[in-house]
Structure 1
């Protein structure tokens, strides 16, 4: 999906916040976000604070660990 290849860290951060994630901490150029699901599971995402986030980083490092599809992520991006 080509829409994921040209996103900035700011856009990804905005979408994560809309999905219920809250900023927890930052170490260097990496920000940590967390959310607690309704079943009690805590999900953590590490977002590199770079100008552009590579599609592979977004898919494999952010979306896959939280079991979010690209389509679902794009709905949060558009809101």
Structure 2
């Protein structure tokens, strides 16, 4: 299993939009993305701060992506 890189919320959003996730709501410092097949993911967008490892794993579970698939999107 590859090691997850340290990423900002913007970098996570950019990777998810490459596979078809689209922004459906931005409330406060969180952006909600939805895929056409119904998957929904919420990503924190705190400028200059990174997404923690546990939260990134939760985002990947919600997006139904493996770590390897996600790393290929970067």
Shift of 1:47: 0.4
Gaps of at least 5 residues in structure 2 are none
Mapped to 1, the partners of 2:56 and 2:41 lie a distance apart of 10
2:18 matched to 1:22? no
Q: Secondary structure at the match of 2:35?
A: strand
Which residue of structure 2 lines up, in the alignment, with residue 72 of structure 1? 69
Quick check: which one's helix share is greater? Answer: 1
Residue 4 of structure 2 contacts residue 67 of structure 2 at CA under 8 Å; is this kept in 1? no
Runs of 4+ in 1 over 2 A off after TM superposition: 1-4
Which residue of structure 1 lines up, in the alignment, with residue 4 of structure 2? 3
TM-score by length of 1: 0.81
Once superposed, what is the RMSD of the aligned Cα atoms? 1.2
Shift of 1:64: 0.8
Count of residues in Structure 1 that have an aligned counterpart in Structure 2: 71
Which residue of structure 2 lines up, in the alignment, with residue 57 of structure 1? 55
Shift of 1:67: 1.7
Which residue of structure 2 lines up, in the alignment, with residue 12 of structure 1? 12
2:48 matched to 1:33? no
Q: Secondary structure at the match of 2:17?
A: helix
TM-score by length of 2: 0.86
